[in-house]
Every structure is written in C-alpha cells, then in structure tokens.
Amino acid sequence: MNPKTLEPLFNYDHMDRKNGRSNGLTGQDILSVDQFDVDTLDYIFTRSCEMREMVRRVGSTDLLRGNVLTALFYEPSTRTSSSFIAAMERLGGNVIPITQGVQYSSVSKGETLADTVRTLEQYSDVIVLRHPEIGSAKAAADNATIPVINAGDGAGEHPTQALLDLFTIRDELGRLDGLQIAMIGDLRYGRTVHSLTKLLLHYDVSLRFVSPEILRLPLTLMNEVIDAGIDVRETHDVADVIEKADVLYVTRVQKERFSDLAQYEEVKDAHAITPEVMKRAKEDMIVIHPLPRVGEIHYSVDKDPRAAYFRQVQNGMFVRMALLAAVLGKA
Ligand code: NCD
C-alpha cells in the first residue's frame, strides 16, 4: 500500500509545542530574565507557594504525568539539576538525566549541541540545559521545537536561579520594595548575580555591589542599573554595607572562568562572612547564596537564623515546579 494515500492517524497541530499557546509561559523557552515582567513574576511566585503547600500536604501530584524532561548538563551541578529532577518527579513527570556523564554521550564523539538537542527533543517535552558558553541556551532553543530552559550559560545568565533567589527574599522578608540588597563576591563572572540584578530592577530597591576590583559588575549591566534610576553604590569592603543591608547575596569566586589561576588565588578569599561580621548586621536581615560555597560563608554562620541559604535551596524546587507546570501548559 502506498503510505501517501493513508489518512494521518493523529492531528499533528498540537506538535507545534513552542508557539501559539495561551498562558504567557506555555511553550516558551526560558533563556533570560529579560522575559519576565512583574505580573509574570507574581504569577510564578503564587504558583510556587501552591507547589510548596501541595508538597507539604501530599508530597506529589500527577499534573505532569506523561511528560518527559531532559536534563542536559555540560557543566557540574548539584542543586540545579537535582531540583529540576525532583520538581519533575513531584509533578508526576519523568526525566532523562544527562547530568553526570555528558562525556559518555555522543558529545564525546564530536556531536554538535544542535544535533544533540534535535535528538533529545524527539524523546522529551522540555530540555533543561547548562553549558559553559554564553548564548548556548539561545543557540539550543533556535534548534529545538520544544521549550529550552537555560540552567546557566557560562558567565551569562541563570534565570531560574534568579527566580528562586527573588522568591526567597520575598518569602523571608515579606516584601521587595524598600529593601537594600548587597551582592558580594564575583560580580563579573557570576551569572546568578547578573540575572538577579536584572530582576531586581523591577522593584524599588537599593543595590550595593561588593567585590574586588577585577570582579566588578560588567559595565553594560551597571549601565542598566543606572538607567533604571536605582540607588546604587560599589565598594570593595563588606564593612561598608553590613549595617544597612536587608539581604546579603554572597557568591563564590568562579574559578572555572579564570584564564589566569594566579589571579584567582589573589581574589578567592577577598570576602568572608563570619559570626563577627554578622554581629554588625541588622536583626531582620538574611544571608543567601546560590551555593556551592567554598569558604565565603563560614560554617559557624549556619546556625544563625538569618542564614537562609538552605531554605533557599528548597525554594528552588517549588519555583521550578511552578515554572515547569507553566511552560508545559498546566498552569
Ligand atoms: C551557581 C551556578 O552554577 O551558577 N550555582 C547554582 O546554580 N546553584 C553558582 C556557582 O556555581 O557559584
């Protein structure tokens, strides 16, 4: 029989999984925080609270049953990969995890990112990608018909981390407007800093940037901050910000982005949050960190109730549950 005479078994209209869906996030790639406005952020945070409630009551649901997520990680990850996996599983979906062994996949045979993505989309409904090059998530998305979520593109952006950081600040302190937020550490290469800074420009906050000279915030981003009319200052010293800050956003110096390791050695211990430093901070402030930490927050700070970084870790799962549900059209 000539197959051309057969009627199609399925209506393939629904296969255009990236375009033309109703909710603003459904079917969309999540590449940069530039995509989010305040309404979308409010929507995600409301849904994240619902996800938290659901997990606390019953642990999991079948909202995304039948959906498959591919976690494609070309750089190391603990929290981002496992929270996406946990998020998908708590919503009843399944995961293809390529998080430990890209070296065992065909990437090691020289396959391009485009071909890898074109292959994985045949099996899945959404791809979560971490890759060392700036712009890689966009390049992957351009080659995919299913949504691609940027889980960190080199020193570029990390939009889902910024969502969970912002959610955590609001959840811990009850508001965003009026806060003074100090970002400390590697502001140059820290992609989480770049994404969170841009999101904060939607609110009436003041920003303090604390870093060694060579790790200052990129000029283009600083110009965005200034153009947004935000009260902003830069300093090399945590002492200048500790008394007034409502949030300390502490970050790791991104060793893997340095071409000259001697330079890394010079700045790696520039800042350390210790119990002594915390004594000078407000009583109702919080310390957060995208983690991993490698010495910039002393372990002895952990028992301080203002240390919110492990609560922040758990929020990552709730926020990613909300985002996955929205992107996959289960809003
Ligand atoms: C961050 C990252 O990978 O950019 N970690 C994370 O996703 N939680 C921060 C870092 O690696 O320092």
How does pLDDT run across 156-194, given as a tens digit for each residue? Answer: 999 999 999 999 999 999 999 999 999 999 999 999 999
- Residue 23 pLDDT exceeds 80: no
Atom of ligand 1 nearest to the CA of 290: 8
Q: Which residue has the tokens 């952006």?
A: 157
How does pLDDT run across 45-56, given as a tens digit for each residue? Answer: 999 999 999 999
How does pLDDT run across 74-116, given as a tens digit for each residue? Answer: 999 999 999 999 999 999 999 999 987 776 677 777 889 999 9
Measured CA to CA, the distance from residue 153 to residue 158 in angstroms comes to 7
What separation in Å is there between the alpha carbon of 152 and the centre of ligand 1? 8
Does the CB atom of residue 168 touch ligand 1 within 6 A? no
- Pairing state between β 94-98 and 231-235: unpaired
What percent of the chain has a predicted confidence (pLDDT) above 90? 89
Does the CB atom of residue 290 touch ligand 1 within 6 A? yes
Give alpha helix (H) positions in 105-155. Answer: 113-120, 136-142
Q: Across residues 38-43, what is the average pLDDT?
A: 96
Cα–Cα distances (Å) from 32 to 141, 163, 237, in that order, read 12, 11, 30
Asked if domains 3-157+315-327 and 159-313 share a fold, the reply is yes
- Residue 8 pLDDT exceeds 90: no
Q: How confident is the model at residue 15 (pLDDT cuts 50, 70, 90)?
A: very low
Q: What are 131's two structure tokens?
A: 């890759």
Q: Can you name the residues that pair with 94 across neighbouring β-strands?
A: 68
- Residue 325 pLDDT exceeds 60: yes
What percent of the chain has a predicted confidence (pLDDT) above 70? 92
- Residue 65 pLDDT exceeds 70: yes
Catalytic residue among 18, 21, 79, 236: 79
Does the CB atom of residue 291 touch ligand 1 within 6 A? yes
208: left (phi over 0), alpha (psi -120 to 50) or beta: beta
How does pLDDT run across 196-226, given as a tens digit for each residue? Answer: 999 999 999 999 999 999 999 999 999 999 9
Of the candidates 162, 234, 172, 246, the residue with the CA atom closest to the CA atom of residue 198:
162
pLDDT of residue 1: 37
Q: Across residues 60-83, what is the average pLDDT?
A: 96
Handedness of CA 251, 256, 258, 263 (dihedral sign): positive
| Three-state secondary structure of 234-285 | EECCHHHCCCCCCEEEECCCCHHHCCCHHHHHHHCCCCCECHHHHHCCCCCC
Class of domain 159-313: alpha beta
- Residue 61 pLDDT exceeds 50: yes
What separation in Å is there between the alpha carbon of 149 and the centre of ligand 1? 15
Residue 44 near residue 163, CB atoms below 8 Å: yes
Measured CA to CA, the distance from residue 160 to residue 77 in angstroms comes to 14
Measured CA to CA, the distance from residue 309 to residue 286 in angstroms comes to 9
pLDDT of residue 104: 65
Of the candidates 161, 151, 184, 181, the residue with the CA atom closest to the CA atom of residue 272:
184
pLDDT of residue 12: 40
CATH number for the region 3-157+315-327 comes to 3.40.50.1370
* The residue type at 318: F
- Residue 21 pLDDT exceeds 50: no
Measured CA to CA, the distance from residue 235 to residue 190 in angstroms comes to 17
Beta-strand ranges (E) seen in the chain are 68-73, 94-98, 126-131, 148-153, 180-184, 206-210, 231-235, 247-250, 286-288
Contacts of 84 (CB under 8 A, 6+ apart): 69, 71, 95, 128, 149, 151, 320, 324
Neighbouring C-beta atoms of residue 45, cutoff 10 Å:
19
- Residue 155 pLDDT exceeds 60: yes
Most confident of 7-21, 93-107, 291-305: 291-305
Q: Can you name the residues that pair with 208 across neighbouring β-strands?
A: 182, 233
Measured CA to CA, the distance from residue 58 to residue 53 in angstroms comes to 9
Measured CA to CA, the distance from residue 68 to residue 91 in angstroms comes to 11
233 is catalytic: no
Catalytic residue among 52, 158, 191, 320: 158
Average pLDDT of the residues of the chain: 92
Measured CA to CA, the distance from residue 196 to residue 319 in angstroms comes to 15
The domain locations on the chain are 3-157+315-327, 159-313
Q: Across residues 16-37, what is the average pLDDT?
A: 79
14 is catalytic: no
Neighbouring C-beta atoms of residue 34, cutoff 10 Å:
12
